[in-house]
Structure 1
């Protein structure tokens, strides 16, 4: 069954693309106001993660943030990169360098969650 592209999905995707950094569901809700309810945002974000459109980041502050994927698909997420959270402005960014982690024989990686906090170039 094909997935429909609803107005809510398009609003959420546009908002994620326009931020140019990772944002939380809470921030997304504030941006969208009354146009999309919280449950729909949660459902759409999870659907986008499953479809390889966005990826979910667990921050050192305990919150999940979402960022648009680059070159991913439903079957192959490629997110072996660190994420950076600025302690001053709160911005969360995907850092560009991919990291290769050699696992022991027989191990297979499904998720990589590397996180760094500090001060971004604009705040340091």
Structure 2
């Protein structure tokens, strides 16, 4: 059997619904029969959303690059190191900045061929546009 496709998933706005949809979707074990999911974001942000959903048993396998992805787990690449203030339901510049970091890293990996496809969670375009 050939290797499962690697699906990159950018988290979208950290204050939005993206991570909720991602976590709930990837909590269905059968998804791992069809693909190897790689979420681009940060474990601390994902943990905040996971706890808000009451899904404390859901875990990510943290990796540094797509080649290290475990095909039997939901993988996560941390796209930044700093702590981020999460304001669920709020459209903020911070939410947009980290959505863009997630999208840029995932897009780079798609262009480089280390993932096979990219799914993007919702982004508020006004939050990611800068004045420069």
- What TM-score, normalized to structure 2? 0.28
> Which structure has more helix as a fraction of its residues?
2
Larger relative contact order (C-alpha < 8 A, sep ≥ 6)? 2
> Which structure has more strand as a fraction of its residues?
1
- What TM-score, normalized to structure 1? 0.29
